[in-house]
């Protein structure tokens, strides 16, 4: 039995840091893993950019090997340019591209020195958190397609998707909230200053009265922009909710702000007091700050991808297209936007390219990898005239295809238009705070009205009005809201620093409520690029191992790649000749004149398949016509999987497995999941979606953990959908959260932490209720002095913020550090 | 009294100047990316500084 990746010499590529297996290229006394890395190094050396290697160890990214000349030709099409260019005046053009490979300070250095690599680049500016680079180019000297080629060449392939080209204009950075915070903070500080004389008591002399009037007038002027501009979003949101006949969380805030403002104006106008403008500006300032904090999430990670962000922007259209008279005259292979593809068009798809529409195969044979759609890891062979569905990826040589349906009508696209997905969005509004808030608002309003009625009956109406307004001011649920926003903000940060990236605060709450966990298998529970390989049969001699390695290295089939990797320690056998790959069947080579070596499927070797051929993947090996045995390839599961599942079961979560794959490793998996009934194989994307739906109809709250596009429907449908990815820059389907693969074992702890977050919100709410009761007991009697109200307001807010911050940090430390 | 008014107006003016500076900096995009500049400051400006042997 030979374990994968056991190379004896650990040589790391100077450029990209990958393990150099045996094909080390030495250049300038430095090892490189491939020609591409070496070329980048040479280019940087030539342009004196080698301090690239000083900031980080092995900072480079190995250039994409699937690149081919003309890949970006579509960037020079006017209709594409119109969408992706931010600004142009004919000479200078600005583009802002997303470079997912950007990962360290060296990347920033190189990308901001692009002008030294090409004279056409005028300047470039990196936004690292968003992984974007804004490049200004001189269109006379460099074309957009050339710029994209340059970036790809040095390893930073720009990611330009159909969504960019087709989608709506990108939303502007949310700067207005910063303006609002700035203005509210400015007003808050200054109104506070104006109120100090009043807190400490002014005398009764004439000049003191004049001073007070003056301070009050200044305060009103300062409070106006806060009321009309900074606080506007609370009023808008509250008004919207009232029109829909329910009270949202902003309604009581808006009411409190409104009442405080009006009462302050009244008091100042009638010279009966100084009002509570300091409290009002304070509320608005703290609330806005809390929300800014909570919404500041991960700008580089997108959670809302649909099929459009996976699809290529353009494909190569073949000349032979059945030219309808209206179409543009087609020259030989030209690029066409995939949205413009018409049924009947003939397209060319190269190795590892994604097929964007449902097509019919024209070429003789194709190997289609559907892992993207179905999760099935082994490519499927297709022959001429077969229909291939969108989302498949060609493995091997280029193929010709004829489009049968438009992109928007393909099988894959239909998955997104499933009704049950669009319906669910609305029903998720009721969160914990919302529920508390409903009772809270009505209670406060009831109390206020009761107090008003009481004083009215006692014949002291002014005192009654005083009481109700004070109640509304003091009982503003700001503390509750502050505790919620700050706890969530903290939690999001805590999860993020533990490699678990959540879309928004609502997800934390949903996560704390789940009772069922559904896992996908391929890529989620198993490792995507590793496998355990053993040879069943006669043990192989060193020569045979070398031959098997050399042969499998020639092929791009995933199984060949895995075998080559597992035999990395063997040297290359250079005497092999007549190498031949029969797509979908196997590999053949000759040693000497007539000694034939074959590896591949049983059919290819002309022997009967082994009994367990359906369960695991086999690659058979024959040596000079003599059958020696087969490589048995098992998927390798992630570490600590059994601990994770045991921990989930102990806490009484139901666990299920949904796999698009054929049934494998049933014994192992049924042990992990408890019983065979929990395992579901051969699930199509719709089946997964329906499975989740059935569970939800039974009232269960489902957490779906998946990775591929085949899980996309289920991820969206579930209460919480988490995408597992080994590189968060890779593209993950639309989901609520992205979890780094290595952290999957911490899943039970994450759920626990989410629950702790809920508890913290409730605890701080209790604290704020205590404050409110103290405040209310003063207010009901109508004797709360402005000084106490003014101190109580910020003091309660600040203590709540402190409490949530400290306790969420403590909870994270207790729950996650222990687990490491 | 009039001295107080003068002082108040002055203090507001100073605070207002800071507010304007803040709004200007947001508008210029200084708050769009609060991370990259911290890396950028480490880079050498001139080309001659780098040598392949690090």
From chain B, the residues in CB contact with A132 under 8 A are none
Mean pLDDT, rounded, for A626-652: 82
Q: Are A360 and A385 in contact (CB under 8 A)?
A: yes
In whole angstroms, how far apart are CA A524 and each of A212, A457, A638, A658, B42?
Answer: 67, 69, 8, 11, 39
Can you give the pLDDT at residue A482? 77
Phi-psi region of A591 (alpha: psi -120 to 50; beta: other; left: phi over 0): beta
Q: Is residue B28 part of a domain?
A: yes
Whether B17 and chain A come into contact, CB under 8 Å, resolves to no
Whether A400 and chain B come into contact, CB under 8 Å, resolves to no
Phi-psi region of A151 (alpha: psi -120 to 50; beta: other; left: phi over 0): alpha
Give the DSSP H/E element, type plus range, for residue A489: helix A478-497
Across the interface, do B31 and A178 touch by the CB < 8 Å criterion? yes
Mean pLDDT, rounded, for A653-682: 81
Whether B2 and chain A come into contact, CB under 8 Å, resolves to no
Is pLDDT of A322 > 60?
no
Q: How would residue B51 be classed by pLDDT, with cut points 50, 70 and 90?
A: very low
Across the interface, do A126 and B36 touch by the CB < 8 Å criterion? yes
In whole angstroms, how far apart are CA A507 and each of A431, A637, A718?
Answer: 10, 27, 11
Q: Distance between CA atoms of A29 and A47, rounded to whole angstroms?
A: 19
Is pLDDT of A320 > 60?
no
Chain A, nearest residue to B5 by Cα: A214
From chain B, the residues in CB contact with A211 under 8 A are 1, 4
- Of A134 and B47, the structure prediction assigns the larger pLDDT to A134
- Of A625 and A121, the structure prediction assigns the larger pLDDT to A121
Highest mean pLDDT among A226-240, A309-323, A598-612, A722-736: A226-240
Q: Is residue B15 part of a domain?
A: yes
**Domain regions of chain A by residue span:** 1-63, 73-166, 173-296, 312-353+358-405, 499-526+638-754, 527-637
Which among A559, A560, A543 is positioned nearest to A551, based on CA atoms?
A: A560
- A133 forms beta bridges with A97, A126
Can you give the pLDDT at residue A170? 46
In whole angstroms, how far apart are CA A783 and each of A471, A477, A773, A780?
Answer: 11, 21, 14, 8
Q: How would residue A425 be classed by pLDDT, with cut points 50, 70 and 90?
A: very low
Can you give the pLDDT at residue A168? 47
By Cβ distance, the residue of B8, B32, B52 closest to A50 is: B52
Residue of B20, B43, B44, B48 best to disrupt the A interface, most CBs of A under 10 A: B43
Highest mean pLDDT among A9-23, A251-265, A395-409, A436-450: A251-265
Residue of B4, B24, B25, B26 best to disrupt the A interface, most CBs of A under 10 A: B26
ipTM of this complex prediction, to 2 decimal places: 0.83
Range A527-637 has CATH code 3.40.1110.10: yes
Residue of A48, A171, A213, A298 best to disrupt the B interface, most CBs of B under 10 A: A48
Q: Which CATH architecture has domain A499-526+638-754?
A: 3-Layer(aba) Sandwich (3.40)
Whether A411 and chain B come into contact, CB under 8 Å, resolves to no
Can you give the pLDDT at residue A729? 57
The correct CATH number of A312-353+358-405 out of 1.10.20.60, 2.40.30.170, 3.20.20.100, 2.70.150.10 is 2.70.150.10
Q: Is residue B49 part of a domain?
A: no
Across the interface, do A182 and B52 touch by the CB < 8 Å criterion? no
Across the interface, do A50 and B44 touch by the CB < 8 Å criterion? no
Whether B15 and chain A come into contact, CB under 8 Å, resolves to yes
Is pLDDT of A509 > 80?
yes
Mean pLDDT of chain A, nearest integer: 78
Is pLDDT of A326 > 70?
no
Can you give the pLDDT at residue A571? 77
Alpha-carbon dihedral sign for residues A333, A338, A340, A344: positive
CA distance A77 to chain B (A): 31
Q: Are A220 and A190 in contact (CB under 8 A)?
A: no
Can you give the pLDDT at residue B50? 41
Whether A229 and chain B come into contact, CB under 8 Å, resolves to no
Which among A489, A492, A495 is positioned nearest to A800, based on CA atoms?
A: A489
Q: Radius of gyration over alpha carbons of chain B, in Å?
A: 21
Range 24-53 of B in CB contact (< 8 A) with A: 26-27, 29, 31-36, 39-40, 42-44, 47-52
- Residue A621 phi/psi, 5-degree rounding, is -135, 120
Can you give the pLDDT at residue A428? 45
Can you give the pLDDT at residue A451? 84
Can you give the pLDDT at residue B18? 94
Q: Distance between CA atoms of B54 and B47, rounded to whole angstroms?
A: 15
Can you give the pLDDT at residue A540? 81
Which among A722, A710, A712 is positioned nearest to A681, based on CA atoms?
A: A710
Give the DSSP H/E element, type plus range, for residue A32: strand A30-32
**Lowest mean pLDDT: which of A145-149, A273-277, A532-536, A612-616?**
A612-616
Can you give the pLDDT at residue B16? 93
Is pLDDT of A226 > 90?
yes
* Parent domain of B12: 2-41
Q: How would residue A374 be classed by pLDDT, with cut points 50, 70 and 90?
A: low
pTM comes to 0.72
Mean pLDDT, rounded, for A507-519: 87
In whole angstroms, how far apart are CA A275 and each of A186, A187, A206, A447, A733?
Answer: 19, 15, 20, 22, 53
Can you give the pLDDT at residue A227? 94
Across the interface, do B35 and A186 touch by the CB < 8 Å criterion? no
From chain A, the residues in CB contact with B27 under 8 A are 175
Mean pLDDT, rounded, for A297-325: 64
Return the structure tokens found at A246: 């329910």
Chain A, nearest residue to B49 by Cα: A51
Is pLDDT of A417 > 90?
no
Mean pLDDT, rounded, for A243-264: 82
From chain B, the residues in CB contact with A129 under 8 A are 33-36
Residue of B16, B23, B27, B33 best to disrupt the A interface, most CBs of A under 10 A: B33
Q: How would residue A229 be classed by pLDDT, with cut points 50, 70 and 90?
A: very high
Across the interface, do A128 and B36 touch by the CB < 8 Å criterion? yes
Whether A205 and chain B come into contact, CB under 8 Å, resolves to no
Is pLDDT of A738 > 80?
yes
Mean pLDDT, rounded, for A642-653: 85
Mean pLDDT, rounded, for B10-29: 91
**Lowest mean pLDDT: which of A256-265, A299-308, A497-506?**
A299-308
The correct CATH number of A73-166 out of 3.30.465.10, 3.30.2000.10, 1.10.10.10, 3.30.70.100 is 3.30.70.100
- How many domains, chain B? 1
Give the percent of chain A with pLDDT over 90.
4
Across the interface, do B50 and A49 touch by the CB < 8 Å criterion? yes
Q: How would residue B13 be classed by pLDDT, with cut points 50, 70 and 90?
A: very high
Can you give the pLDDT at residue A181? 93
Chain A, nearest residue to B27 by Cα: A175
Q: Distance between CA atoms of A745 and A569, rounded to whole angstroms?
A: 31
Across the interface, do B8 and A109 touch by the CB < 8 Å criterion? no
What tens digit of pLDDT does each residue of A62-74 get? 776 666 667 787 8
Between chain A and chain B, how many beta carbons pairs sit less than 8 Å apart? 75
Q: Is residue B53 part of a domain?
A: no
Q: Are A799 and A767 in contact (CB under 8 A)?
A: yes
Angle (nearest 5°) at CA A517 between A493 and A742: 50
Whether B20 and chain A come into contact, CB under 8 Å, resolves to no
By Cβ distance, the residue of B19, B26, B44 closest to A175 is: B26
Across the interface, do B36 and A179 touch by the CB < 8 Å criterion? no
Angle (nearest 5°) at CA A430 between A428 and A433: 135
CA distance B42 to chain A (A): 9
Can you give the pLDDT at residue A808? 86
Q: Is residue B47 part of a domain?
A: no
From chain B, the residues in CB contact with A175 under 8 A are 26-27, 31-32
Mean pLDDT, rounded, for A85-111: 83
In whole angstroms, how far apart are CA B48 and each of A28, A124, A350, B44?
Answer: 19, 20, 43, 9
What tens digit of pLDDT does each residue of A464-499 get? 877 787 777 766 666 777 777 888 888 888 888 888
CA distance B23 to chain A (A): 6
- Of A62 and A720, the structure prediction assigns the larger pLDDT to A720
Across the interface, do A173 and B5 touch by the CB < 8 Å criterion? no
Mean pLDDT, rounded, for A635-652: 82
């Amino acid at each position: 039995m030979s374990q994968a990746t056991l190379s004896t010499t650990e040589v790391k590529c100077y450029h990209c840091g990958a393990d150099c297996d045996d094909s080390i290229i030495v250049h300038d006394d430095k090892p490189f893993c491939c020609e591409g890395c070496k070329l980048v190094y040479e280019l940087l050396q030539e342009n004196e950019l080698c301090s690239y290697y000083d900031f980080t160890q092995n900072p480079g990214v190995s250039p994409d090997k699937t690149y081919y000349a003309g890949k970006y030709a579509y960037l020079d099409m006017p209709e594409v340019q119109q969408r992706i260019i931010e600004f142009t005046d004919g000479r200078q053009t600005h583009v802002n591209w997303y470079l997912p490979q950007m990962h360290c300070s060296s990347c920033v250095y190189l990308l901001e020195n692009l002008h030294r690599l090409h004279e056409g680049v005028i300047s470039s500016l990196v936004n690292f958190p968003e992984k974007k680079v804004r490049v200004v180019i001189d269109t006379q000297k460099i074309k957009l397609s050339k710029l994209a080629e340059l970036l790809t060449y040095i390893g930073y392939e720009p990611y330009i998707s159909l969504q960019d080209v087709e989608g709506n204009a990108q939303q502007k950075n949310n700067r207005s909230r910063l303006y609002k915070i700035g203005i509210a903070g400015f007003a808050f500080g200054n109104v506070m200053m104006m109120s100090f004389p009043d807190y400490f008591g002014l005398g009764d002399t004439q000049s003191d009265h004049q001073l007070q009037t003056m301070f009050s007038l200044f305060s009103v002027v300062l409070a106006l922009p806060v009321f009309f501009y900074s606080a506007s979003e609370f009023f808008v949101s509250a008004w919207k909710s009232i029109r829909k006949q329910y009270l949202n969380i902003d309604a009581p805030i808006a009411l409190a702000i409104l009442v405080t403002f009006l009462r302050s104006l009244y008091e100042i106008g009638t010279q009966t007091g100084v009002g509570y403008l300091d409290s009002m500006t304070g509320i608005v300032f703290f609330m806005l700050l809390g929300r800014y904090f909570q919404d500041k999430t991960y700008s580089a990670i997108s959670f809302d991808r649909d099929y459009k962000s996976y699809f290529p922007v353009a494909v190569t259209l073949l000349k032979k297209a059945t030219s309808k008279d209206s179409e543009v005259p087609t020259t030989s292979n030209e690029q066409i936007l995939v949205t413009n593809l018409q049924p009947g068009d003939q397209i060319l798809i190269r190795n590892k390219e994604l097929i964007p529409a449902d097509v019919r195969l024209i070429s003789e044979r194709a190997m289609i990898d559907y892992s993207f759609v179905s999760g099935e890891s082994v490519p499927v062979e297709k022959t001429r005239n077969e229909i291939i569905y969108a989302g498949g990826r060609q493995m091997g040589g280029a193929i010709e295809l004829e489009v049968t349906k438009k992109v928007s009508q393909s099988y894959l696209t239909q998955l997104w238009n499933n009704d049950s997905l669009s319906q669910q969005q609305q029903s998720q509004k009721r969160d914990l705070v919302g529920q508390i808030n409903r009772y809270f608002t009505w209670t406060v309003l009831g109390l206020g009205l009761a107090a008003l009625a009481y004083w009215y009956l006692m014949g002291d109406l002014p005192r009654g009005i005083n009481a109700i307004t004070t109640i509304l001011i003091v009982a503003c649920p700001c503390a509750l809201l502050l505790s919620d926003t700050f706890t969530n903000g903290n939690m999001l940060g805590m999860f993020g620093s533990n490699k678990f990236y959540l879309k928004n605060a609502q997800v934390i709450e949903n996560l704390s409520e789940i009772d069922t966990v559904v896992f996908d298998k391929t890529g989620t529970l198993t490792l995507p690029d590793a496998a355990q390989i053993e040879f069943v049969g006669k043990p192989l001699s060193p020569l045979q191992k070398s031959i098997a390695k050399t042969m499998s290295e020639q092929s791009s089939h995933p199984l060949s790649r895995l075998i080559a990797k597992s035999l990395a320690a063997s040297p290359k056998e250079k005497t092999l000749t007549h190498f031949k790959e029969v797509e979908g069947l196997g590999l053949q080579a000759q040693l000497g004149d007539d000694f034939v070596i074959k590896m591949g499927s049983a059919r290819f070797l002309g022997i009967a398949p082994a009994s367990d051929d359906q369960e695991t993947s086999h690659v058979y090996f024959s040596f000079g016509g003599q059958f020696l045995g087969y490589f048995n390839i098992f998927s390798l599961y992630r570490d600590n999987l059994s601990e994770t599942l045991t921990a989930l079961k102990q806490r009484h979560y139901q666990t299920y497995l949904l796999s698009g794959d054929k049934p494998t490793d049933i014994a192992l998996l049924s042990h992990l999941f408890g019983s065979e009934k929990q395992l579901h194989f051969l699930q199509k994307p719709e089946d997964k979606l329906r499975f989740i739906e059935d569970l939800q109809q039974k009232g269960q709250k489902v957490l779906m953990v998946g990775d591929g596009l085949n899980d996309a429907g289920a991820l969206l449908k579930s209460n919480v959908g988490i995408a597992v990815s080994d590189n968060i820059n890779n593209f993950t389907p639309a989901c609520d959260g992205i979890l780094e693969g290595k952290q999957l074992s911490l899943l039970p702890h994450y759920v626990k932490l989410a629950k702790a977050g809920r508890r913290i919100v409730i605890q701080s709410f209790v604290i704020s209720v205590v404050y409110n009761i103290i405040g209310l007991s003063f207010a009901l009697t109508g004797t709360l002095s402005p000084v106490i109200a003014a101190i109580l307001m910020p003091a309660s807010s600040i203590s709540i913020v402190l409490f949530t911050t400290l306790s969420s940090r403590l909870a994270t430390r207790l729950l996650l550090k222990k687990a490491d | 009294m009039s001295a107080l008014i003068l002082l108040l107006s002055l203090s507001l003016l100073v605070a207002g100047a800071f507010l304007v500076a803040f709004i200007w900096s947001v508008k210029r995009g200084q708050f769009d990316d609060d991370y990259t500049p911290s890396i950028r400051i480490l880079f050498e400006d001139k080309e001659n500084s780098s040598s392949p042997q690090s």
